[in-house]
Structure 1
Amino acid sequence: IAIGFSSDGSMVGSSAIVGWVGSNGGIKQYYLGGTQSSSVEPNKGSLQVLGNTSAALSQSQRIYMAFQLDTTQPQSKLLYAVGPQGQFPSSPEFRLSQHEYKISTRIDYLTGQSGTVQTPYSRLRMSHGVLNMLGWGVLMPIGIIVARYFKQFDPTWFYVHVSIQSGGFILGSVGVVCGLVLNDRINANVAKHKALGIVILVLGCLQVTAFLARPDKVSKVRKYWNWYHHGVGKVLIALAVVNVFYGIHLGNAGNGWNAGFGVVLASLLIVAIVAEFRKWARK
């Protein structure tokens, strides 16, 4: 278990006391320099812990931790976290595994009252996640389904397809911009997530360019254009789905977001399978 002391309610940049029990149980201070395990440094931090005042013990299936700080008043924004069961820090590095649960609170040391702390840039985080999920992860697949299975409603299917894909591209592009702004403000270590987002945005721009340069149906190069357009679209969707789930993981958004997005994808997949079966049955 761990308790951190933060100036703004965020993990990065704060100091924490971590305790664990077992055959090699102990308590150490850590400096939380980033979101990766390698950035969480043991025996560092700004807390002045008095000697021989720290203890961690397990009783009645609960873990208790106690320590005493030499300070006039500690930071009022506290972070609580619980690590994975059975994974303890060990010598010589005493590295921590990623926590399973966490919560941020604010405590008034005069009254003893506490309340939850809103994560810094929470609205920007939410906008980034929701816009990308809806744009790249939901609307784009719907647009592909319309284009593949509803061509009998010509030319309505085309205008619906273009409208949905345009909306998805706009929402997704704004979501990527929100992510870049967020990364600049919090300086998070999310290089892979950022790189995937940029690749997805580039693929989206290529699709827009391909639409503007679309050859006539009777053109000899139309066949190759179709291969390109369909191929890039499928790669874009695959990368987008992976990056949305990865973003949920990085943001510690919880299983609810994973389940919700998974249900939407499963529903779209079922629709696509049924439509594909009916398409082949008509042949």
Structure 2
Amino acid sequence: MIKKISMVKLLINLPFLLILASNLLSLHMIHGQTQDSCGSNSILGNLSGQIFFDTSSLNCFPVWSSENFVLRYAQAGPSLWSFVLSAPNSNSYVGMGFSPDGAMVGSSAVVGWVASDGSANMRKYFLGGQTPSQVLVDQGDLQIIGNTSSVISDSSRIYMAFQLAIDQPRRQLVYSVGDNSNLPPNTPSFRLTKHRTQMAISLNYASAQGSRIKAPYSNLKRAHGILNMIGWGILIPTGAIVARYLKHLDPLWFYAHTGIQSLGFILGFSGVIAGLVLEDRLDANVNKHKGLGITILAFGCLQVLALLARPTIDAKTRKYWNWYHYSVGRLMILFAIVNIFYGIHLAKAGSSWNAGYGVVLGILFTTVLILEIKLLKKK
């Protein structure tokens, strides 16, 4: 009897099991189409008719795991090197640059893409600066062997194959992915739009091992972000909360308020100085971010001056001073929050920074909400 019931349940659930198995198989197939690894060199065998040089003995290195970039390479002869870069086809370009110092600016790069009409393209560029006008097509010191170059789109991936006439390629390699919200380069200018993200590695060609190169001034960037976030974005709002809701703890609230705000101003001021130094060294175009930062600093300076010119509590001008002090402080906090998120966006720092600061703001907002309700009940 038990066996019959089990068989009936199996038959009833069979269609659902088949659907589940079909979905799992589909997911596996999709995953297999979009992934590549150094353990799957047979993939290049399927493209042998479209890659115009021998790929049987290429070294392999996963140069950019988060973007699933895989580089295969080998010395094909005296002063001749073969390269195949594999990357997901994101309907934009993929780029590989050979850098003298690990930076993108100053590199000579090979860039490939597949246009919307299915035509494959590859060009070389000299990355003379950070603006599109400074990225020069058909320039640079790379000698690409033209009749062996190809760009292939296969199974949701793009393969950029080329050979260089060179004794020894540069070890510092930079990689980039175009923003798929922009069209790929097209005729006649082949202008390259700003990349979505980038990275750099130092590759040992003999051992097929490499290490990631930190972005220039990465420690200074991190210091700039942390100082501004803690100073303007956390301490200043905390000091304002103390001033509004803890006045019954007189005079403790006043000393706590001035102490927290002073520390926030010092950290924020240091963060702005770090940002100005960073802009000068990187020659970055961050005018909006810089303008907001200087405005926030100016508001902070006005608040310091307001403290020095603070009238007595019974003075006739006290209500005007209070209005000024509250208004400038709230504007400063609002601008600081906006500029912190904008700075995270400019730095491409990732969702963890957004989430972390968002959690802190959530805690501050919840605290304000609770204290404001209590304050209204007392009234």
* TM-score, with structure 2 as normaliser: 0.70
- Quote how far apart the aligned CAs of 1:162 are: 0.9
- Quote how far apart the aligned CAs of 1:97 are: 4.3
Partners of 1:9 and 1:64 lie apart in 2 by 23
**1:102 and 2:102 correspond:** no
Partner of 1:163: 259
Tell me if structure 2 keeps the 8 A contact 1:147–1:157.
Answer: yes
Distance 1:63 1:213, change over 3 A: same
**1:144 and 2:240 correspond:** yes
Listed one character per residue, the Cα deviations across residues 48-102 of structure 1 (whole Å, up to 9, x for unaligned) are 3232332221222222111222332232111222233474223344344443343
Distance 1:224 1:260, change over 3 A: same
Partners of 1:233 and 1:27 lie apart in 2 by 54
- Match for 2:158: what amino acid? I
Partner of 1:263: 359
Q: Counting strand residues as a fraction of each chain, which structure ranks higher?
A: 2
Partner of 1:221: 317
Q: Larger Cα Rg: Structure 1 or Structure 2?
A: 2
- Match for 1:70: what amino acid? A
Listed one character per residue, the Cα deviations across residues 219-263 of structure 1 (whole Å, up to 9, x for unaligned) are 111111111111111111121112211211222211211111122
SS of the equivalent of 1:52 reads: helix
Aligned Cα root-mean-square deviation (Å): 2.0
Name segments (4+ residues, structure 1) moved above 6 Å: none
Tell me if structure 2 keeps the 8 A contact 1:8–1:120.
Answer: no
**1:45 and 2:170 correspond:** no
Q: Which runs of 5+ in 2 are unaligned?
A: 1-93
Partners of 1:233 and 1:268 lie apart in 2 by 16
Partners of 1:34 and 1:247 lie apart in 2 by 21
Partners of 1:265 and 1:122 lie apart in 2 by 25
Partner of 1:6: 99
Count of aligned pairs between the two proteins: 283
Partner of 2:280: 184
Distance 1:162 1:78, change over 3 A: same
SS of the equivalent of 2:205 reads: coil
Listed one character per residue, the Cα deviations across residues 14-43 of structure 1 (whole Å, up to 9, x for unaligned) are 232221124243112233344444544433
- Match for 1:76: what amino acid? R
**Alignment map for 1:86-125 (pairs within 5 Å):** 87-125=183-221
* TM-score, with structure 1 as normaliser: 0.91
Partners of 2:369 and 2:133 lie apart in 1 by 44
Distance 1:188 1:162, change over 3 A: same
Distance 1:71 1:38, change over 3 A: same
Partners of 1:121 and 1:48 lie apart in 2 by 31
Q: Which has the higher contact order (CA 8 A, sep 6+)?
A: 1
SS of the equivalent of 2:331 reads: helix
Partners of 1:41 and 1:249 lie apart in 2 by 27
Partners of 2:345 and 2:121 lie apart in 1 by 29
Partner of 2:368: 272
